[in-house]
Amino acid sequence: MGSHIELAKRTALYSPCRHRVGAVIAAGPRVLATRSNSRRNSPRVDFHHATFHAEEAAVRRVRNPAGTVIYVARVNAAGEPVMARPCERCQRLLAAVGIVGAYFTTWDGSVDYLDIARSRRAPAVGRTGSASPALRDRR
Ligand SMILES: [Zn+2]
């Protein structure tokens, strides 16, 4: 795990974006893809979709990511690791392609883990809009 997250940090250094993020997809010790986030559209044109997130870019490089783990690192201007928890959109993407978990750097320099496979099985509460007020309050 340690070497993969270190590789993700080094990959982040290549990002042309202000928030530099690197992602590594690995099957055990074997690295399948490394990608940093990159520019997609001018922020002036489409602020919310201005970048390809590193997770998204790495997933596109792997033919069959099912059962793999992703390592996500973000670095600040000094190259130190900062919070890189995958966003909601990337979490949905990772779950959809069968990636089981995500290690990511955090504010204090440690590495946290997100159980993607488990979050995928979580029920989509409120999707039908028919839940009673009591049920809604409980979540
Ligand atoms: Zn994302």
CATH code of residue 67:
3.40.140.10
Domain count, the chain: 1
- Could you tell me the distance, in angstroms and rounded to a whole number, from the CA of residue 133 to the centre of ligand 1? 32
Beta partners for residue 2, in sequence order: none
C-alpha closest to that of 100 among 83, 81, 114: 114
- Could you tell me the distance, in angstroms and rounded to a whole number, from the CA of residue 87 to the centre of ligand 1? 4
Average pLDDT of the segment spanning 9-18: 94
- Per residue in 95-136, pLDDT (tens digit) is 999 999 999 999 998 999 999 987 655 555 544 444 444 444
- Could you tell me the distance, in angstroms and rounded to a whole number, from the CA of residue 113 to the centre of ligand 1? 15
- Could you tell me the distance, in angstroms and rounded to a whole number, from the CA of residue 134 to the centre of ligand 1? 33
Other beta carbons within 10 angstroms of residue 87's beta carbon come to 12
pLDDT at 82 over 60: yes
For 79, the domain range is 2-138
Neighbouring residues of 6: CB distance < 8 A, sequence distance ≥ 6: none
- Per residue in 20-74, pLDDT (tens digit) is 999 999 999 999 999 999 987 665 665 566 688 999 999 999 999 999 999 999 9
- Could you tell me the distance, in angstroms and rounded to a whole number, from the CA of residue 51 to the centre of ligand 1? 9
Q: What is the pTM of this model?
A: 0.80
Report the greatest alpha carbon distance in the chain: 50
- Could you tell me the distance, in angstroms and rounded to a whole number, from the CA of residue 132 to the centre of ligand 1? 32
Average pLDDT of the segment spanning 4-32: 96
* Residue 89: per-residue pLDDT: 93
